[in-house]
């Protein structure tokens, strides 16, 4: 039944719903109404069972009876919020009053509904909460992807190998299979991971990125699986972990080859059984999260050296996509550079219409060891520092552009060439244009005009 639930959630925009009511008929009626709309439902009769269920899995919504034997349903709300901070709780009561409503809202309730209720009332409030949860997820995804707003440009390619990879990625996105992205740093693995999530049936749920090399072992485990207060030094409050917070969505494990062996075992268990435990809490939890991993190292070599588990590798290597380096796809360099130029001009309110022929030649000759990431950074730099209508060769970093000629008085060159180099050197050695104009013996308006003439 749980496997069927996981399959259904990946193809529909539905929720995990908890029902807490001590009346069997209420639980049965609510369950029927919710399951009819394809929501996954857990129904319990008391506070203890409700807390136990909230520890095992994440919930989007809860219907809670106001009177639960000797317990008050409102008092359960903080416990549910502790394990699922996004949960929307609806209090069920036969004794509605302003005082009850105010107290429920203060405790974190989303709404309350009076008994007796009908199926239409349940559907209206559930649909409303479903839309809110969808909007919340979209906002979180926007926050995650704000730094890669120009990512779609990186996925447009004239290279046959890249086009084939994208076609395979589109097919794989429709499944729940684990995907392993391989390639050098900067080739666009994280962008491809987000693209796969975006076109998948899970796109309405969150995607999170975990950079595996950036955290020590204990903090990485907490980042993935979460921890409870006091689990280790510095654990001053509960942490849900990225896996639990991405329920129904995807998680991108960047540079997975650097994961310590102790965490490899726990990750293997999660991939196999969809179960995990938080640090400091032995309660097994379940989550429906799709794994997308990436690496720039030779995992097969790491297996031989005992650094990476062979069984984990085979679990990760279900669908493997190898992204070529930028030097292997030279036909994409100028289109990518042009897309980045347009993007960063928009961000920085600049009007730069393109590249000089000399710049185009230099970009095509360079080997790009940092791949797309390096190209992106170079274009961002030229937009910020450039002043001409086009990107000039002198706007490029020294390692990409050819070294400027070292001229001296008496060399067989024009006065204009001597003047340009002299002005450039003075501007580079002074802190302001006013200081530069004073040294050069010209007014700032003339200096501004000469900078424009020389594309400085």
Instruction: Give the whole-angstrom CA distance, residue 349 versus residue 64.
Output: 52
Position 88 scores a pLDDT of 94
Judged against a pLDDT cut of 70, whether residue 429 lies above it is answered with no
Token code pair at residue 5? 């639930």
Position 7 scores a pLDDT of 35
DSSP string, 389-414: SEE-GGGS-TTTSPPPP---TTSSS-
Q: How confident is the model at residue 153 (pLDDT cuts 50, 70, 90)?
A: low
Q: Which tens digit of pLDDT belongs to each residue from 244-290?
A: 999 999 999 999 999 999 999 999 999 999 999 999 988 899 999 99
The CA-atom distances, in angstroms, between 168 and each of 99, 171, 179, 293, 373 are 58, 5, 11, 16, 23
**Helix, strand, coil fractions of the chain, as percent rounded to 5:** 50, 15, 35
Q: Which tens digit of pLDDT belongs to each residue from 364-405?
A: 988 898 899 899 999 999 999 888 889 988 888 877 875 555
87 backbone dihedrals φ, ψ, rounded to 5°? -65, 140
Nearest 10 degrees: CA dihedral of 330, 334, 339, 344?
110
Domains and their CATH numbers in the chain = 2-137 (3.40.50.2300), 150-324 (3.40.50.300), 404-456 (1.10.10)
Instruction: Provide mean pLDDT across the span 80-87.
Output: 88
**Beta-carbon contacts of residue 60 (< 8 Å; ≥ 6 apart):** 15, 16, 17, 84, 86, 87, 88, 129, 130, 133
Which ranges of 150-298 would DSSP assign to H, the alpha helix?
151-154, 160-173, 189-198, 217-225, 242-245, 261-273
β-pairing, 67-68 vs 207-211, is unpaired
Q: Which tens digit of pLDDT belongs to each residue from 89-139?
A: 999 887 767 777 778 888 888 988 888 889 999 999 999 999 898 888 777
pTM to 2 decimals?
0.67
Position 216 scores a pLDDT of 85
Which ranges of 69-159 would DSSP assign to H, the alpha helix?
77-83, 98-106, 119-145, 151-154
Q: How many angstroms separate the first and last alpha carbons of the chain?
A: 67
Helices 24-36 and 119-145 cross at an angle (nearest 10°) of: 60
Instruction: Give the whole-angstrom CA distance, residue 123 versus residue 453.
Output: 68
């Amino acid at each position: 039944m749980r496997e069927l639930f996981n399959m259904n959630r990946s193809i529909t925009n539905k929720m995990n719903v908890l029902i807490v009511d001590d009346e069997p008929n209420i639980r049965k009626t609510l369950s029927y109404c919710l399951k009819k709309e394809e929501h996954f439902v857990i129904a319990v009769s008391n506070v203890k069972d409700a807390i136990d269920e909230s520890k095992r899995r994440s919930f989007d919504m809860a219907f809670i009876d106001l009177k639960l034997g000797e317990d008050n349903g409102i008092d359960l709300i903080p416990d549910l919020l502790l394990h699922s901070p996004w949960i929307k709780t609806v209090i069920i009561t036969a004794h509605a009053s302003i005082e009850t409503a105010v107290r429920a809202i203060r405790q974190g309730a989303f709404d309350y509904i009076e008994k007796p209720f009908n199926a239409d009332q349940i559907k209206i409030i559930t649909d409303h909460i479903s839309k809110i949860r969808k909007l919340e997820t979209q906002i979180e995804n926007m926050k995650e992807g704000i730094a890669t707003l120009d990512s779609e440009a990186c996925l447009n390619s004239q290279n046959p190998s890249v086009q084939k990879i994208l076609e395979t990625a589109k097919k794989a996105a429709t499944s729940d299979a684990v995907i392993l992205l391989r390639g050098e740093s900067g080739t666009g693995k994280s962008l491809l991971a987000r693209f796969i999530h975006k076109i998948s049936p899970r796109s309405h749920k969150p995607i999170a990125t975990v950079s595996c090399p950036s955290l020590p072992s204990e903090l990485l485990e907490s980042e993935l699986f979460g921890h409870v207060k006091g689990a280790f030094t510095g654990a001053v409050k509960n942490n849900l972990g990225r896996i639990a917070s991405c329920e129904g969505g995807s998680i991108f494990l960047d540079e997975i080859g650097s994961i310590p062996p102790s965490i490899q075992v726990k990750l293997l268990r999660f991939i196999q059984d969809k179960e995990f435990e938080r640090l400091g809490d032995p309660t097994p939890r379940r989550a429906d999260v799709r794994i997308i991993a990436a690496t720039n190292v030779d995992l097969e070599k790491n297996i031989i050296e005992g650094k990476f588990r062979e069984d984990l590798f085979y679990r990760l290597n279900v669908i493997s996509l190898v992204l070529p380096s930028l030097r292997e796809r030279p036909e994409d360099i100028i289109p990518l550079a042009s897309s980045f130029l347009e993007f960063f001009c928009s961000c920085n309110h600049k009007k730069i219409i393109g590249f000089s022929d000399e710049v185009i030649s230099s970009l095509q000759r360079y080997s790009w060891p940092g791949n797309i990431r390096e190209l992106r950074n170079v274009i961002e730099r030229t937009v910020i520092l450039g002043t001409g209508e086009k990107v000039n060769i002198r706007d490029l970093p020294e390692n990409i552009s050819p070294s400027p000629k070292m001229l001296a008085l008496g060399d067989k060159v024009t006065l204009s060439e001597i003047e340009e180099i002299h002005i450039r050197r003075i501007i580079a050695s002074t802190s302001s244009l006013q200081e530069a104009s004073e040294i050069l013996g010209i007014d700032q308006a003339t200096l501004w005009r000469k900078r424009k003439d020389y594309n400085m």
